[in-house]
Amino acid sequence: MAYPLVEGNIGNYCTLNGEKVLFDSPEGRKLFEPTDEITYYESVRFQNGVLLFWEDHMERLHKSVAAKEDFPIDPDTYHFIATNMIWDSGMADGNVRVVITKSLNLIYLSNMTYPTDEMYKEGIVTKSLTWERVEPHVKVFRGDYKKAVAEASATKTVFGMPYEVILRGNDGKFVEGGRSNFFVLHENTVYSPSEDLILIGITRKYVKDAIREAGLTLAEGAFTMEELVRMETEEDDGPPKMGLFVTSSPFDILPVESIDDVKFRSAECPKLQDLMVSYQKIVHAYIDSHAHLDTV
């Protein structure tokens, strides 16, 4: 299914093949038309003007391209352009999208919905979707997938509208979020599905470091709703020992309050709270070490 190169843009221009292009120009308007070209992309969050984990995003972009067409990319040039756009916008925090096809490269500031403080404190509402992704490790636009996720996101649960969609395979086991990785923390272990089943998120890499820093263990594992409910109901009256959470560049680590019409006490889990603190230390260290580099 064809899909536009630009969505959710901020500002009035982008950089197309190194040239400034106004969205409200003939060339710019074409970017909103669906294309059949294979389209690779990375959405990179910036905080305090620093593009977070840029190197990792570019490595994943390279791997996605190499898996299907294997043409060269130019991360240093993209970084220079993105940094200039950030400074030109006057924004300290936001999101940059890098979009690549075999014939073009496109960089623009994009709109991104970030979680509220309340979501971090209480967790998010989610909706399940049975969907097994094709080539999950290759990050390209897929119109049918985006449509299915959008439809699930628009389906209300008893706890309200979902903030994220959680995908599950035909076996009923939850695998990943529609735009995030999904984890289950139980006692001293954090479980995640096999990496060949998911898109390996950039945040995931640093969450793994935070897991070690928090004194927890990472193990391979996925669970059905019935298994998660059983783990939740088997707990005693003390603080919860299980916490479900999703991770992504916009989310960092975000507790899951509910899946469909089932509620969990994830945000109350002390070990998940410790893990969130450990991850933020990693983010702040990255920003501090790159603040002098991400300048025009």
pLDDT for 288 = 95
The list of the chain residues with pLDDT below 50 reads 296
Chain CA centroid to CA 252, Å: 8
* Distance from C-alpha of 180 to C-alpha of 212, rounded to nearest angstrom: 20
Alpha helices in the chain (DSSP H): 26-30, 54-68, 75-89, 117-122, 143-153, 202-213, 225-233, 270-290
213 neighbors 280 (Cβ within 8 angstroms) = no
Are the C-beta atoms of residues 206 and 283 closer than 8 Å to each other? yes
Position 285 scores a pLDDT of: 96
pLDDT at residue number 143: 79
Bridge-based pairing of strands 94-100 and 40-47 is: antiparallel
The encoded tokens of residue 196 equal 């060949």
Phi-psi sector, 104: left (phi>0), alpha (psi -120 to 50), beta: beta
Taking a C-beta distance cutoff of 8 angstroms, is the pair 138, 149 a contact?
A: no
pLDDT at 293: 61
Give the pLDDT of residue 91. Answer: 94
According to the model, what pLDDT value does residue 294 have? 58
* Residue 196: per-residue pLDDT: 86
Report the pLDDT value the prediction gives residue 1, as an integer from 0 to 100: 65
Identify the structural domains of the chain with CATH numbers, from first to last.
3-109 (3.30.470.10), 117-284 (3.20.10.10)
- The answer to whether residues 125 and 229 touch, using CB atoms and an 8 Å cutoff, is no
pLDDT given for residue 2 in this prediction: 76
Q: HEC profile for 93-113? A: CEEEEEEECCCCEEEEEECCC
